[in-house]
A and B are shown apart, each in its own frame.
Chain A
Amino acid sequence: MDKQISLETKNVSISYGDKQVIRQVSLKVSSHQVTAVIGPSGCGKSTLLRTFNRMNDFIPSFSMEGEIIFQGKNIYEPSSDPGVIRQKIGMVFQRPNPFPKSIFKNIVWGPKINGYSGDLQALAEDALKRAALWEEVKDRLNDSALKLSGGQQQRLCIARAIAMNPEVILMDEPCSALDPSATARIEDLIKELRTNYTIVIVTHNMQQAARISDQTAFLYEGDLVEYGVTKKIFTQPDKKRTEDYITGRFG
């Protein structure tokens, strides 16, 4: 693989207090690809994802060993600034979490507090178009974001992340709270976003991983069992455990 690497974990182990939840995970995330992380509940996929933008920093018992390399630097170095990292590595959460403000303010708040000085109107329009939400909301940008449907709210959250012009967008089961048609729209969107952003998506839905991702990592009880091209993982996995999981024998 001579693709460019956007994010790389080197021997990452994570514990909450005495409990180790991730063991010695090393993987490389290629840029402009969709990388899916799958595995049964509690296998540590969300925990791993949240280390990529240091969202685990808020959990007092969290501790990590190993390195996560982004743009040539370990983001867990004492000198690195989580605020700056999160500007470049955006995140979309499991449940849509728009701010209780207008649609417009939801989009421009992030850029504004980080010193964006360009045209906010144009920025909002561009972000909403990229998130395939513009047509539905262009006449009511000043309405409350909470009036949108769940699927629209999630696309708004994606637009909010896009407005920061990040390099990577992390998605933590972004469709688990949505109905099938809203899920389909988000999946189409994710496939398009790949051209401009690197996407890492955690999902408990194997079909979803198979549909939208280029690479798939299979985590089981904190171990990275297998990582490779999605098509191969789903058709000819190397490991017995991967095969058992994707064929539904457990999980």
Chain B
Amino acid sequence: MKRTHRKRKEKWFLWICRGATLLAVAVLLTLLFHVIREGFAWLDLQFLDSFPSRKPERAGIKSALWGSVWVIGLTALISIPLSIASAIYLEEYAPKNKWMRSVEINLANLAAMPSILYGLLGLAIFVRFFDLDRSLWSGALTLSLLVLPVIVIAAKGAIRSVPQSIREGAYALGARRWQVVFYQVLPSAIPGIMTGIILALSRAMGETAPLIMVGALSYIAFLPEGPSDPFTALPVQIFNWAARPQADFHGLAAGGIIVLLCLLLTLNAGAVFIREKLQRYK
């Protein structure tokens, strides 16, 4: 009798887990279906290649799309080297004392901070204090602050998971610390670091609040020519359209969401491809 009881428990447990998964997938699919149904009709070359307009049939996401590419590209250029270097310092060089432990705890706190606060910080520091105005620089630097702790934490984990025996083997051959880190630890840690970068940049790509805070405008009828130009980004444009009362603009917003999703998928696929390439010797 006890056996059947335990079997029943097993079954229940399985169904709870399965149900939770199904629920999540169902919600996601509903959203996706809804967005595609509403936005698909608006997707054409004209939509991709037009600037925003007051007339829905002439409006497009050219400036938002290129603004997003610019701002994420700049964010990657700023945040990736900085965060990998910090992670190397924290894992391989920094003394393990109270001060460093508090740095680590605060990193975790920073990663969990609401993004609007980064927007306020960016507004105060980059836009006002450094007088960068509403430029791509302000947006990219603010997003870099946002993703920095996330990438640092992921990179730290990846570096820590490189077996100590690899380091010892390298040191035993007379290697200097930088050689051990650069030639042995980093190559082994790259796949893990890449995963962190993908997650962090994907998050940055969808961020709206901090960009609105530092002044990404939704009506930009030209493409940025350099990092000092004003810009808009996909989520800002989508937010703007979705907030309007006319149904046509909701369709445009849905179209924008589809483009954003495609961009995210491309970014992730590219990163996964690079990661697999680098993982040849496993």
Which A residues have a C-beta under 8 Å from some C-beta of B?
A: 53, 55, 58, 60, 83-87, 90-91, 93, 95, 97-102, 109-110, 113-114, 144-146, 157, 160-161, 164
Tell me which residues across on chain A come within 8 A of B282, comparing CB atoms: 100, 144, 146
Smallest CB separation, B31 vs chain A (Å): 41
Q: Is the CB of A97 within 8 A of B176?
A: no
Q: Is the CB of B281 within 8 A of A101?
A: yes
Residue of B179, B281, B282 contacting most chain A CB atoms (<10 Å): B281
* Contact B172 A91, beta carbon cutoff 8 Å: yes
In the complex, which residues of chain A have a beta carbon less than 8 angstroms from the beta carbon of B25? none
**Given A113-B183, A144-B282, A157-B169: A87 and B174 interface contact (C-beta under 8 Å):** yes
Counting CB contacts under 8 A, is B75 at the interface?
Answer: no
6 interchain residue pairs of minimum CB distance: A110-B173, A87-B174, A97-B165, A91-B172, A144-B281, A86-B174
In the complex, how many angstroms separate the beta carbon of B102 from the nearest chain A beta carbon? 19
Give the chain A neighbours of B281 by CB distance below 8 A. Answer: 100-102, 144-146
Do the beta carbons of A161 and B172 come within 8 Å of each other?
yes
Query: In the docked arrangement, what's the CA distance between A84 and B176, Å?
Result: 10
A97–B184 alpha-carbon span in the complex (Å): 12
| Bound-state Cα–Cα, A58 to B172, Å | 12
A60 to B96, CA, bound (A): 10
Interface status of B221 (Cβ within 8 A of chain A): no
Contacts of A91 in B (CB 8 A): 168, 172
Q: How far is the CB of A176 from chain B (nearest CB, A)?
A: 14
In the complex, A135→B34 CA distance in Å?
64
- 11 more CB-based (< 8 A) A-B contacts, given A58-B171, A93-B172, A164-B173: A86-B174, A91-B168, A95-B165, A97-B168, A99-B169, A99-B170, A99-B184, A100-B281, A100-B282, A113-B175, A146-B282
Min CB distance B264 to A, Å, is 31
Asked whether B108 is an interface residue with its Cβ less than 8 Å from the other chain, the reply is no
- Distance in Å from the Cβ of B125 to the closest Cβ of chain A? 38
- Cβ contact within 8 Å between B188 and A100: yes
Q: Identify which of B163, B172, B188 contacts A86 (C-beta below 8 A).
A: B172
Question: Which residues of A lie under 8 Å from residue B165 when comparing CB positions?
Answer: 93, 95, 97
